[in-house]
Chains A and B, each alone.
Chain A
Amino acid sequence: MKQRLTYILKDASTFDPSQLKVTKDSIEVTGLDAAKEQHLTFGFDELPPKIWRVLKQCHELHIRWAAPVPYNAISPFLSRVSSGLHVFFTPRRETPANLLCPMLRNFDETLKCESPEKTFVPQRVLSERFSTSSSFSYYTPTKSLDSLESYIFVQFCDILDLHCQEDVYQLGSARYVDIDFDVISNTLIIRAYWEPSHKPGGWTEITRLQKGSTLEVGVLNNEKPDEPEELKLGGFLTVVGSDSKPKATLFSFPARYHPLPNVSSTREIEYKVAFRQPTGMHPIMEINLEPKSLLAPSESCALHTYLTLPSYIFIDKYQFNDDLFLASQNLRRLHSINGETDLEAPDWVIDKWGSNALFELALPSTPAELSARWTVTIPLHLRYLKPAHNSSGIDAVRVPWPAVFWACEAEEGLKMSTSPFDRVNLGYDSLFGPKTMFYPIPPGTAGWWNPLVETLSVPVLDLDRSSWVEFGTIAAISLGTLWICWKLFAAVMGGDKGKASRGKKRQ
């Protein structure tokens, strides 16, 4: 196993080298106010059979989980996905991946996943050369990693191994967790990110070098980059076991994700998402953007939003053919829609997990509009849900906030993958060319209690109150049928009578 820990200091001026203590087989940090990334690499033979049996069915597997709460993302960990569990997957040609869904159920017992063939959605790739993207995608709005934590506890931690338990517990508190596997490298990589001030008083912890593994720790901070498409980090690197003390370092690398320039506080650029009330069966999603987030980082940029929609909610792509309609929603165009887009089916007949949509957003055209908040609306539609007991006729569904970002043309794209912190396979990135830089806009931090998932009330048929529907319907149809039959019978038998009485009237 290879372990890499990266602490990115929030404020380099507060750092004192005494906060770092290196021994032969451990490193201790004290009170570090920093974001942290843990990067674990496992060789195939280091994995327990339960895991490699699943991986043997995959050509490529990328799992992305993001917490439902807003968090502070610090360069170079800026990229974001909608909260929940995303899976990007390429099967091996000869084997059906029948173990993948059962494995995913360890994240969330209730998730809808029958098999990759039935439930996953083939990915659309705009640029064929962008070979890093996988061929299928999956999503479910899993809120926490609690279920995964207890699975790992039970399956992989020795009951007396407190370090293992603590590590797993910490994993559960990460803001995002990535799990990557591919056949070519034949390694499993787990990456987890914690925001600064995750722990009061900063990070105070000892990390030990385990037998047969390597441990590399960086305590770094962002420096002003020399090139616009690069990031620059300075600070200390320590290879535990071979370095007796931290080594000073300064390095630059081309990066795919960049922070929006000229922003003093993320508050200035946060977006918020809400649904217009009442939501009904045709909810309208509102994305509220701060004026500063509307300033393009450079001329080649366009503002986008990427929606992740579970099967019960969908987009009618035909609505977005009309320029006037698009303009009225402050949208420019529907760039791509992929997945289950049936306009008529109820949720219970949909096998696929749902759909993704990428929109380009319109920008304010007048200076007056530029100084105010800008609201983009996206009309959505709900499918009918299963009738339910004890629901008082209302069911609840969860819709994650979409990701919002600027996408810009980059001069040099192919070198981005050389970045030690490069993160790909986020869904939307495969819809752009390889020479694209992203400037993510952070979702609003109205408070930790304000999750990045909206809950919608969906009216459903209340089974507790509809036991008489079948009888009532049959009774009404029978009544109507008999009434008409009676009229027809009377018509055939008494037709002449009618004629006679009518004749009389005329006289």
Chain B
Amino acid sequence: MASAITQYLSSPRVVFPAAVLLRAALLVYGTFQDAHSPVKYTDIDYFVFTDAARYVSRGQSPYQRDTYRYTPILAWLLLPTAWGGWWFSFGKVLFALGDIVAGWLTILILRNHYGMPMARAVRFSCIWLLNPMVATISTRGSSEGLLGVIVLALLWAVLEQRIMLAGVLLGFGVHFKIYPFIYATSIIWWLDAARLGLPTTHSTQSPIEKLINHLNQRRIDLGAISLITFLVLNIAMHHIYGSEYLRHSWLHHFTRLDHRHNFSPYNIQLYLNSSPAATSSLHLESLAFIPQLFLSAIAIPLALAKKDLGATMLAQTFAFVTFNKVCTSQYFLWYLVFLPFYLPNSSLLSKPWLGMSALVLWVAGQAFWLQQGYRLEMLGLSSFVPWLWLSSILFFLINCWILGIVISDVASSHVSPSQREMKVEEVG
């Protein structure tokens, strides 16, 4: 029985139709629930996107909609939702299609760059393709899935050494959701001379020569192209929507108070210090970006990127989300998409008890937090201290522990065979 299931999950002819069917079923169910129940299946954010798209269709600014904090491109993409009727679900279909493409890219990368046979690659892609959480989030109309496809396409383009495409995707990703900028360091670090089949550094070289060597053409190209893409998009959006674009898509993210409870360990501290009751003059939480960016954008890429780019991106994203000043469950999708590149060689799989403990703790940490959140939001109990605080700190520490395992695993993994093969090929 078990082996039969494994066999089914190894065949793209089964997994892809199943993934499509799962999403189609959820879409139809969601439409049904929305039409017949006052409790909506559709995510509140989707109403924000579609309202914004409606404003755009009338030639107005998407920022007319309160809480629209995204790039106008998202509202443009969803313009068909303003046509009414079934077109309302257009965005959800788009996000669900994004999921499927992300799954396909996962398999492509695993096969071509991790040297994995088709059956095994398909099995690992199921973590994304057949994940009910992923399918639910995108069919409810959250755009996080779309981001998954962008970052996977970025990873694929880098591994394929399509620097132009990679640069455009990186610039676009940062424009779309800011956080993918952390991948710039790992990608650039990964694009070293050896990988590009160029002569490697000799110990006789002076430090300046070494530095120049580090600045190889591909690195410069990637940096320049991504920066240009990013700037062109932002200048264009600013040209069209003016200061509104800057205020909602950018400034909001730097000035928001984030006082409402969320998974972040900084949460209670932010509630305390954003209010007039703040007694601390230090406002140490304003330094929160230091450990976050140091780990996710500098230390992890430098230590790990050359070992395994996909798994490094997982570790980076995991660190970014764990150390962020605000964290909701949708952010977990950001790292989930990279799991298939890390898991095959991980101790979480090779030592099942470790993997199970990590999973159980990760889920239990959230459950404990959710219970405290429920006591606060629904029952009106003052659970801020100690329980809500404690649960977010506990969840943070669990995440740090898991991140520690990921780092050790990636560090001790071999450079993926195909990446090495490619290097040999190019050198040859």
In the complex, which residues of chain A have a beta carbon less than 8 angstroms from the beta carbon of B284? 470, 474
In the complex, which residues of chain B have a beta carbon less than 8 angstroms from the beta carbon of A228? none
Choose, from A60-68, A99-107, A323-331, A445-453, the stretch at the interface.
A323-331
Interface pair B295/A484, CB less than 8 Å apart: yes
In the complex, which residues of chain A have a beta carbon less than 8 angstroms from the beta carbon of B400? 479-480, 483-484
In the complex, which residues of chain A have a beta carbon less than 8 angstroms from the beta carbon of B377? 280-282
With beta carbons under 8 angstroms apart, the residue of B380, B386, B408 that contacts A281 is B380
Interface pair A324/B36, CB less than 8 Å apart: yes
A494 to B269, CA, bound (A): 37
A250 to B199, CA, bound (A): 111
In the complex, which residues of chain A have a beta carbon less than 8 angstroms from the beta carbon of B210? none
> Nearest CB to that of B266 among chain A residues?
A473
Choose, from B74-82, B120-128, B171-179, B257-265, the stretch at the interface.
B257-265
Q: Is A21 an interface residue (CB 8 A)?
A: no
- A472 touching B393 in the complex, CB below 8 Å, given contacts A387-B277, A491-B303: yes
Q: Is A495 an interface residue (CB 8 A)?
A: yes
Choose, from A202-210, A256-264, A344-352, A359-367, the stretch at the interface.
A344-352
- Which A339-388 residues sit within 8 Å CB-CB of chain B? 341-346, 348-349, 384, 386-388
Interface pair A488/B276, CB less than 8 Å apart: no
Q: Is A476 an interface residue (CB 8 A)?
A: yes
Q: Is B108 an interface residue (CB 8 A)?
A: no
Minimum C-beta distance from B306 to chain A (A): 10
Minimum C-beta distance from B148 to chain A (A): 24
- Which A466-487 residues sit within 8 Å CB-CB of chain B? 466, 469-470, 472-474, 476-477, 479-481, 483-485, 487
Interface pair B393/A502, CB less than 8 Å apart: no
Interface pair A384/B260, CB less than 8 Å apart: yes
Interface pair B47/A460, CB less than 8 Å apart: no
In the complex, which residues of chain B have a beta carbon less than 8 angstroms from the beta carbon of A345? 257
- A459 touching B383 in the complex, CB below 8 Å, given contacts A473-B265, A473-B393, A477-B265: yes
Tell which of A278, A325, A476 has the most Cβ of chain B within 10 Å: A476
A483 to B399, CA, bound (A): 11
> Nearest CB to that of A329 among chain B residues?
B38
With beta carbons under 8 angstroms apart, the residue of B67, B303, B384, B393 that contacts A461 is B384
Tell which of B67, B259, B323 has the most Cβ of chain A within 10 Å: B259
A470 to B385, CA, bound (A): 12
- Which B47-95 residues sit within 8 Å CB-CB of chain A? 47, 51, 66-67
Q: Is B203 an interface residue (CB 8 A)?
A: no
Q: Is B363 an interface residue (CB 8 A)?
A: no
- Which A75-102 residues sit within 8 Å CB-CB of chain B? none
Q: Is B168 an interface residue (CB 8 A)?
A: no
Interface pair B389/A483, CB less than 8 Å apart: no
> Nearest CB to that of B278 among chain A residues?
A387
Q: Is A184 an interface residue (CB 8 A)?
A: no
Q: Is B414 an interface residue (CB 8 A)?
A: yes
Interface pair B303/A492, CB less than 8 Å apart: yes
> Nearest CB to that of A385 among chain B residues?
B275
> Nearest CB to that of A456 among chain B residues?
B380
Q: Is A279 an interface residue (CB 8 A)?
A: yes
Q: Is A462 an interface residue (CB 8 A)?
A: yes
Q: Is B319 an interface residue (CB 8 A)?
A: yes
Q: Is A225 an interface residue (CB 8 A)?
A: no
Interface size class of B (residues with CB under 8 A): 35 or more
A269 to B411, CA, bound (A): 75
Interface pair B323/A387, CB less than 8 Å apart: no
Interface pair B274/A386, CB less than 8 Å apart: no
Q: Is B40 an interface residue (CB 8 A)?
A: yes
Interface pair A278/B379, CB less than 8 Å apart: yes
Q: Is B212 an interface residue (CB 8 A)?
A: no
A281 to B303, CA, bound (A): 45
Q: Is B358 an interface residue (CB 8 A)?
A: no
A274 to B386, CA, bound (A): 31
Q: Is B376 an interface residue (CB 8 A)?
A: yes
A473 to B268, CA, bound (A): 9
Q: Is A129 an interface residue (CB 8 A)?
A: no
Minimum C-beta distance from B53 to chain A (A): 15
Q: Mark A125-137, 1 if CB is under 8 A from B, else 0.
A: 0000000000000
Q: Is B382 an interface residue (CB 8 A)?
A: yes
Q: How many A residues have CB within 8 A of the partner chain?
A: 61
Interface pair B272/A484, CB less than 8 Å apart: no
Q: Is B37 an interface residue (CB 8 A)?
A: yes
With beta carbons under 8 angstroms apart, the residue of B66, B268, B379, B383 that contacts A469 is B268
Minimum C-beta distance from A435 to chain B (A): 32
> Nearest CB to that of A277 among chain B residues?
B380
Interface pair B411/A491, CB less than 8 Å apart: yes
Q: Mark A382-414, 1 if CB is under 8 A from B, else 0.
A: 001011100011100000000000000000000
With beta carbons under 8 angstroms apart, the residue of A318, A321, A476 that contacts B265 is A476
Interface pair B272/A469, CB less than 8 Å apart: yes
With beta carbons under 8 angstroms apart, the residue of B35, B396, B408 that contacts A480 is B396
Tell which of A327, A384, A484, A501 has the most Cβ of chain B within 10 Å: A484
A481 to B298, CA, bound (A): 13
A143 to B66, CA, bound (A): 34
Interface pair B378/A466, CB less than 8 Å apart: no
Interface pair B295/A481, CB less than 8 Å apart: yes
Interface of A is mostly: helix
A483 to B401, CA, bound (A): 8
Minimum C-beta distance from B363 to chain A (A): 19
In the complex, which residues of chain A have a beta carbon less than 8 angstroms from the beta carbon of B285? 473
Interface pair A483/B404, CB less than 8 Å apart: yes
Q: Is B9 an interface residue (CB 8 A)?
A: no
Interface pair B404/A470, CB less than 8 Å apart: no
In the complex, which residues of chain B have a beta carbon less than 8 angstroms from the beta carbon of A393? 382, 384-385
Interface pair B382/A459, CB less than 8 Å apart: yes
Q: Is B169 an interface residue (CB 8 A)?
A: no
In the complex, which residues of chain B have a beta carbon less than 8 angstroms from the beta carbon of A321? 47
A327 to B39, CA, bound (A): 12
Interface pair B380/A469, CB less than 8 Å apart: no
Interface pair B397/A344, CB less than 8 Å apart: no
Interface pair A325/B38, CB less than 8 Å apart: yes
With beta carbons under 8 angstroms apart, the residue of A280, A388, A463 that contacts B380 is A280
Q: Is B304 an interface residue (CB 8 A)?
A: yes
Q: Mark A262-305, 1 if CB is under 8 A from B, else 0.
A: 00000000000000001111100000000000000000000000
Q: Is A457 an interface residue (CB 8 A)?
A: yes
Interface pair B384/A386, CB less than 8 Å apart: no
Q: Is B181 an interface residue (CB 8 A)?
A: no
With beta carbons under 8 angstroms apart, the residue of A329, A386, A394, A480 that contacts B276 is A386
With beta carbons under 8 angstroms apart, the residue of B268, B275, B386, B407 that contacts A386 is B275
With beta carbons under 8 angstroms apart, the residue of B271, B304, B380, B404 that contacts A387 is B271
Q: Is A441 an interface residue (CB 8 A)?
A: no
Q: Mark B265-291, 1 if CB is under 8 A from A, else 0.
A: 110110111111100100011001001
In the complex, which residues of chain B have a beta carbon less than 8 angstroms from the beta carbon of A386? 275-277
In the complex, which residues of chain A have a beta carbon less than 8 angstroms from the beta carbon of B389? 466, 469, 472-473
> Nearest CB to that of A498 among chain B residues?
B412
Q: Is A458 an interface residue (CB 8 A)?
A: yes
> Nearest CB to that of A457 among chain B residues?
B380
Q: Is B410 an interface residue (CB 8 A)?
A: yes
In the complex, which residues of chain A have a beta carbon less than 8 angstroms from the beta carbon of B412? 491, 495, 498-499, 501-502
Q: Is A322 an interface residue (CB 8 A)?
A: yes
- A491 touching B265 in the complex, CB below 8 Å, given contacts A386-B275, A461-B272: no
Q: Is A163 an interface residue (CB 8 A)?
A: no
- Can you sample 8 A-B contacts with CB below 8 Å? A280-B376, A324-B38, A387-B271, A393-B385, A469-B269, A470-B284, A488-B299, A495-B412
Given contacts A461-B384, A462-B384, A498-B411, could you give 10 more A-B pairs where the C-beta distance is less than 8 Å?
A324-B35, A394-B382, A459-B382, A460-B384, A469-B272, A477-B323, A477-B396, A484-B403, A488-B303, A490-B411
Q: Interface of A with B (CB < 8 Å)?
A: 278-282, 318, 321-322, 324-325, 327-329, 341-346, 348-349, 384, 386-388, 392-394, 457-463, 465-466, 469-470, 472-474, 476-477, 479-481, 483-485, 487-488, 490-492, 494-495, 498-499, 501-502
Instruction: Please provide the 8 A-B residue pairs with the shortest distance between their CB atoms, ordered closest to farther.
Output: A393-B382, A498-B412, A491-B411, A328-B38, A480-B400, A459-B382, A387-B277, A280-B380
